[in-house]
Structure 1
Amino acid sequence: MYKLSPVRSKSGDVVILVDEVTLVPLLYPMLYSLTKGVFQTFNTQLSNAHAIKEFYDFWQSKFGCSFCYSFYKAKTNPQVAIEELESFYDYLCNSSNIFNSEIAQRNFETVNKISNCVVSYLSYLNDEFVNSRYEHSTGVEMISLHNYISNRLRSFRKTFSSTLKRSKIIFGSSIQPSFDSMTSEMVYDLFSLLKPSTIKEENAINPFTNKKVQFRNFIIFRLLLNYGLRISELLLLEISSVKNTTRGRHALVITNASDNTDSRKRLSIKNIHSHRVLELTDTDYNLILTYIESVRPKSSNNTFLFISSKKPFRALDYQSIRFACSLLNKNFLKVYPNHFDRNNIDSIRHLHLHTFRHTWATLTLSALYKAKRAELIRSCKMSGVAFSEKGLMDEAKDELRKLGGWTVDSQIPNLYAARFIQEKANQSNIARINSGILD
């Protein structure tokens, strides 16, 4: 599809990305190389160009067109790429075979390096094209868009960095273990902070002062934890997303919004596997119903489920959720510092939005594994067949992928549920030791 080609210019040698058939340079990578590459060594240019080529190969295979074309059609808004960065990371993980290799650590570092190079490229596009020359917006809107994209890219850099650190834990590095998921005790303590105040009982440790905001945020973080929603999926929820079933149960439909007047930055469901229907517990359904009927402002004109408590009652955006999480993290650290204590091997570094999806993956994989194990034990007893755990973990991961909206071959659950996978490995090792082979 694409290949790298060194070109000699007045400023020195640069590496550009060209179409493999026509040998025509790709516009935006060429501008990036001519602008940034001339100040870099040739090897650095080659490394950066290779990373961009990986991204363009991914884009071509997924959308059937070059990223340059998509970027141009999106009116040079880098947001079109940001929504695909997680998929790109997944693509790199799968193509690198990092979970089944003796050189897994080196591959993780390579994936992390490629991802950061692509983020740098998108940062360049943001700086170069989100400005008054290309954007037909007011100054305030343009600055807001630029800052929003910059913050999202910084967030991805942190995610890539934390993933690399976790990989060093999983594959035997000397770095102190750390997880992005919470233990059951942490979850219990966290929701003691989030518990909304009532007329009869005030929750003095809740980081949010307004009672309606407390109730709304309690439901938001509960949905993130209980169902592993991505932030974009949460923000796209509409009132109509909450459904009843013919069996008398309740469901949450995860799909793109039907509201075409959404003024927020581009939001969409990640991939075809992310469109799904999740069964709600009665408790969560009743909480959402109470929020819609008694807490959510009635005078709002939009159909989105979670909206601001202040006029003009706009739909919440990514920045709003991130700010709420930062307040929660600050209070969590203050009230329960032991959960962040680096002397505790199972502590967390900080609470961020991804922590909820990581925690959901860990707790859900644990529950799926235990349920499948119990079912298999019953079947083996009834049929008189010897019990074996072989294949159980893979089956549990397959179900986790369906619930989490991951592709069928995605390896990301291995990282998100790293805490349970390591705990299970330790339990198996202790059981082996206790079997008395050496006694």
Structure 2
Amino acid sequence: MLKVLKIDDKRVSLIDSQTLLPTFLSLTYCIHSLHRKSVNYQQKELTSIKFFYEYWLTKEGQSLDFSMIKSNFSGKTLLSMIELLDGFWLYLNNSRIEQAKNVYSLKASPYDVPTEAYSTNAAHYHSVCRFIEQLISNYISPHYITKAPDEVELCRRNILALLSQKKKQYSSYSSDKHKNDYKSLNENQFRDFVSVFPVPTNPTKDGLGKVSNSVYRQYRDHILLRFLSSYGLRIGEALLLRGSSFKPNFSETKFFMMVTNLEDNVDPRSKKPSIKTASSHRELEISQQDYMIVKGFMSQVKLISQHDFLFTSSSTNASPLSYQGARKIIIDASNRMKKLFPHHFDITKSDHLQTISPHMLRHTWAYFQLEHIFRRYTADFIKAGAVDPKGIMKSAIDHLRSLGGWSARSQMPAYYGKRFIAKRANELSMSKFKEDAFKHFNIELPIFLRNIDESSIDK
């Protein structure tokens, strides 16, 4: 039996419960790719690979590792893995129960399988495709194949092309539940969302100097919102912050926040947050006001907690806040906003909201930040006499990448650049209606077209 087990705070492995050893091929995948990812990502990927290992065993009567070693790591086994992907898809949608070898199962219908299950199975399928892709890169090489290098390269490309076709087959079933997360709040939506995080200006304290639990939660939630939306922190990064994460310079004219993993093993949480990539370790300058707010709040944390974490529960032991606890703060606020400002959730509007998630606040920060950086770089380029729109945008995107902790390979900063360019293109397109040539379209509307509430249109 195979099990996905957490080895330590940074690594997960697929283990054979009989030998208590990691499966060979999955271990190579972990070493080359997965162990540089977050623990949660490793667990999800290895769970999918575990399902494929089990499917291979039922089909071939031997383990995937044994098949690969028996074939001397040839491309033959890799091709067999690709050929079995269609059957693996049916296996997933049949509750991971393999049909008899002489029985052909009909393709599962979206009407028979719940949408959420289909999306989950598509995620498993594409995880296995990534696993096979890594194996192809490792083993279709001159080290394992005794052919001329150019022939080996051609073989590798052909196998990857075949895998690419398989990867595209079930892309339409991939989940879109996080699609709304890639939206960002506009200025009015953001203003109203901030308003559902009120804080008392002069709260009462008891004899020990402690504020009430409700006031403590209000300040904690407000500070969480500030750091997610003002500095673009991922929620896991925010949960790593401690009092010692905030430091001034020697002259105390600038203030900094250290976003990094904890190395002292003092985190008592069973699911410990961690930095996503090496690029995510960073030192961010923060405002003096934010620094003072954190220092003031930490004086309250120290009165109720044995730990130095910024975000804790308000219970007696004040344990460090969990990922689910932090996420619930934002989701609950989203629900309050829906009641207080229902017009932001009106589906008849193009920029309506479905819900607000923690990561959506990071997207909001990124878009506002890119606009600000672009304007600053434009002014600097003009002053230097070198106005190059592409150069300005590239510089702005690189700056955003550094602030947001994205890796060099991440396409997210460029995604925001495309959104910004599209917005400016639309603004320029609409400005043409103010020019003389297009004023011919300015006619008086007939009565039957005046039923629309003109007061609701932003002129």
Judge same fold: TM > 0.5, yes or no: yes
Could you tell me which of 251, 271, 277 is aligned with 2:277?
Answer: 271
C-alpha distance in 2 between matches for 1:41 and 1:420: 48
CA 1:250–1:200: 2 relative to 1, 3 Å: closer
Distance 2:429 2:273 in 1: 45
Which of the numbers 208, 213, 216 marks the counterpart of 1:212?
216
1:194 aligns with 2:197: yes
The alpha carbon displacement at 1:404 in A equals: 0.7
Equivalent in the alignment of 1:404? 404
CA contact (8 A) 1:302 1:314 kept: yes
Structure 2 residue 291 is the aligned partner of structure 1 residue 285:
yes
Q: Percent identity?
A: 26
One-letter code of the match for 1:193? V
Aligned residue number for residue 301 of structure 1:
306
Q: Report the Cα distance in structure 2 between the residues aligned to 1:253 and 1:10, rounded to whole angstroms.
A: 50
Counterpart-to-counterpart distance in 2, 1:233 and 1:8: 38
Query: 2:4 maps to what in 1?
Result: none
Counterpart Cα distance in 1 of 2:202 and 2:62: 68
Select 2:73's aligned residue among 22, 30, 43: 22
In structure 2, the partner of 1:56 is: 131
Matches within 5 A, 1:137-286: 158-159=177-178, 161-162=179-180, 180-199=183-202, 210-246=214-250, 248-264=253-269, 265-286=271-292
Which residue, out of 292, 310, 318, partners 1:313? 318
> Over residues 123-182 of structure 1, what are the superposed CA-to-partner deviations in whole Å (9 max), with x where a residue is unaligned?
xxxxxxxxxxxxxxxxxxxxxxxxxxxxxxxxxx722x447xxxxxxxxxxxxxxx6211
The match for 1:121 is none
The alignment partner of 1:252 has SS state of: strand
The RMSD of aligned alpha carbons is 4.7
**Distance apart, 1:334 and its partner CA:** 0.8
Change (3 A) 1:301 1:193: same
Q: Which amino acid aligns with 1:405?
A: G
SS at match of 2:241: coil
Q: Is the 8 A contact 2:257 2:284 kept in 1?
A: yes
- Cα 1:43–1:111 change in 2 (3 A) is closer
Give, in angstroms, the shift of residue 57 of structure 1: 5.5
- 1:287, 1:235 → 2: CA distance? 17
Residue identity opposite 2:267 in structure 1:
D
1:368 partnered with 2:373: yes
Alpha-carbon shift at residue 281 of structure 1 (Å): 0.7
Q: Offset at 1:395?
A: 2.0
Alpha-carbon distance in 2 for matches of 1:396, 1:111? 36
Pairwise CA distance, 1:243: 1.0
TM-score normalised by L of structure 2: 0.59
Q: Which moved more, 1:284-293 or 1:405-414?
A: 405-414
Taking the aligned partners of 1:61 and 1:243, their CA distance within structure 2 comes to 47
Partners of 1:423 and 1:189 in 2: how far apart?
23
Structure 2 Cα separation of the partners of residues 231 and 61 of structure 1 = 35
- How far 1:379 sits from its partner (Å)? 2.0
Match of 2:341 in 1: 336
Aligned residues: 330
> Are 1:38 and 2:38 matched, yes or no?
no
Q: Distance in 1 between matches of 2:425 and 2:167?
A: 21
CA shift digits 1:90-127 (9 cap, x unpaired): xxxxx99xxxxxxxxx99987966866xxxxxxxxxxx
Q: 1:239 to 1:9 in 2, by over 3 A?
A: closer
Deviations 1:336-382 (A, max 9, x none): 111111222222221111111010011001111111112222222xx
2:399 aligned counterpart, secondary structure: helix
Determine which structure has more spread, i.e. the larger CA radius of gyration. Answer: 2
Q: 1:433 to 1:21 in 2, by over 3 A?
A: farther
Is the 2:198–2:222 contact (alpha carbons within 8 Å) kept by the matching residues of 1?
yes
Relative to structure 2, which stretch is displaced further, 187-196 or 9-18? 9-18
What amino acid does structure 1 have at the position aligned with 2:230? N
Where 1:278 maps in the other structure, the secondary structure is: strand
Alignment match, 2:451: none
Cα distance change on mapping 1:9 and 1:298 into 2, 3 Å: closer
Structure 2 stretches lacking a partner, 5+ long: 1-24, 30-48, 109-117, 140-159, 205-211, 440-459
Counterparts in 2 of 1:61 and 1:362: CA distance versus 1, 3 Å: farther
Report what 2:11 is aligned to.
Answer: none
Q: CA deviation at 1:217?
A: 0.7
Whether 1:347 and 2:422 are equivalent positions in the alignment is: no
Instruction: Please give the secondary structure, in 1, of the residue aligned with 2:275.
Output: coil
Structure with bigger RCO (C-alpha 8 Å, 6+ apart): 1
| Matched letter for residue 220 of structure 2 | R
Shift of 1:257: 1.3
Give 5+ residue unaligned stretches, structure 1: 66-94, 97-105, 117-156, 164-178, 202-207
